[in-house]
């Protein structure tokens, strides 16, 4: 994946809570077997049915930072939601709380999810609504979000931060510990099930 160090761009205020991954990208777009090209499905129902939807407004068309309400990314585990956001030009999502699987998926593809207190989210909403051209900088090295005269620190696990800064692939990291995996496998009880061979039904 691409490394993430720091990003500066404009931000779109998505004043909605509990945005589920079915809204980020509906299931019909999940039939594709590619890993890119999902931008046409990004928030497609809201973009189609709601003329006032924030991403339909020209002033937010080039936004690369999405500032969402609490509980962003609930529901389905579809990593396509992360891919659609990246394909749609977003590098960062800011919310006061994310759903676990979405947040975890985001770290695998280089989309940075930043948790800020709701009061800071509200202040950022107000700033980018007042002036949609406000540059917002999200710096993973210093763990800070900066816009105008405001700087807000954020927390992220050191290990996750290191992986994102380096753009490292998890599988490669785990393969360094094959000895541990083999040792563990030697200790597994023999009665644990295997799917092969297929056994006759009852």
Partner 1 sequence: MPKTLAEKVYDAHVVRSTEGEPDLLYIDLHLVHEVTSPQAFDGLRAAGRTVRHPELTMATEDHNVPTLDILAPIADPVSRAQVEALRKNAAEFGIRLAPMGDRDQGIVHVIGPQLGLTQPGMTIVCGDSHTSTHGAFGALAFGIGTSEVEHVLATQTLPQYRPKQMSVTVEGELAPGVSAKDVILAVIAQIGTNGAAGHVIEYRGSAIEALSMEARMTICNMSIEAGAKAGLIAPDRTTFDFLQGRPHAPQGADWDAAVEYWSTLRTDEGAVFDAEVVLDAGTLTPFVTWGTNPGQGLPISERVPDPAQIADEGERHAAEQALAYMGLTPGTPLTEIEVDTVFLGSCTNGRIEDLRVAADLLRGKRIDAGTRMLVVPGSVGVKNQAEAEGLDRVFVEAGAEWRGAGCSMCLGMNPDQLKPGERSASTSNRNFQGRQGKGGRTHLVSPSVAAATALTGRLTAPADLTTA
Q: Write out the residues near partner 1 by the rule CB under 8 A.
A: 15-18, 20, 22-23, 26-28, 30-35, 45, 69-71, 74-80, 82, 97-101, 104-105, 108-109, 157-159, 170-171, 173-175, 177, 180-181, 184-185, 188-196, 198-202
Sequence-distant (6+) residues with CB within 8 A of 158 are none
C-beta of 149 vs 188, nearer to partner 1: 188
C-beta of 66 vs 99, nearer to partner 1: 99
Instruction: Supply the minimum distance, in Å, between the C-beta of residue 9 and partner 1.
Output: 24
C-beta of 148 vs 167, nearer to partner 1: 167
Q: Which two tokens stand for residue 177?
A: 């510990």
How many C-beta atoms lie closer than 10 Å to residue 53's C-beta?
16
Instruction: Supply the minimum distance, in Å, between the C-beta of residue 97 and partner 1.
Output: 6
Instruction: Supply the minimum distance, in Å, between the C-beta of residue 171 and partner 1.
Output: 5
Alpha-carbon gap, residue 99 to 121, rounded angstroms = 17
C-beta of 10 vs 95, nearer to partner 1: 95
Instruction: Supply the minimum distance, in Å, between the C-beta of residue 137 and partner 1.
Output: 27
Q: Which has the closest alpha carbon to 106: 153, 68, 63?
A: 68
Instruction: Supply the minimum distance, in Å, between the C-beta of residue 116 and partner 1.
Output: 15
Sequence-distant (6+) residues with CB within 8 A of 2 are 110, 167
C-beta of 70 vs 89, nearer to partner 1: 70
How do 136-139 and 144-147 pair as beta strands? Answer: antiparallel
Alpha-carbon gap, residue 139 to 142, rounded angstroms = 6
Contact (CB, 8 A) for 116 and 96: yes
């Amino acid at each position: 994946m691409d490394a993430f160090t720091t990003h500066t761009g404009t931000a779109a205020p998505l004043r909605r809570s509990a945005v589920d991954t079915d809204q980020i990208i509906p299931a019909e777009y999940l039939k594709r077997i590619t890993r890119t090209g999902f931008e046409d499905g990004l928030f497609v129902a809201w973009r189609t049915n709601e003329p006032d939807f924030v991403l339909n407004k020209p002033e937010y068309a080039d936004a690369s930072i999405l500032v969402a309400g609490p509980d962003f990314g609930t529901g389905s585990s579809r990593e396509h939601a992360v891919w659609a956001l990246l394909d749609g030009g977003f590098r960062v999502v800011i919310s006061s709380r994310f759903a676990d699987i979405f947040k975890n998926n985001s770290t695998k593809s280089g989309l940075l999810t930043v948790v800020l207190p709701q009061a800071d989210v509200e202040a950022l909403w107000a700033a980018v609504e007042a002036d949609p051209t406000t540059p917002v900088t999200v710096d993973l090295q210093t763990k800070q979000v900066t816009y105008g005269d405001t700087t807000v620190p954020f927390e992220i696990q050191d290990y996750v931060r290191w992986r994102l800064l380096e753009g490292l692939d998890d599988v490669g990291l785990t393969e360094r510990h094959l000895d541990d995996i083999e040792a563990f496998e030697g200790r597994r009880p023999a009665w644990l099930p295997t799917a092969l061979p297929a056994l006759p039904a009852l």
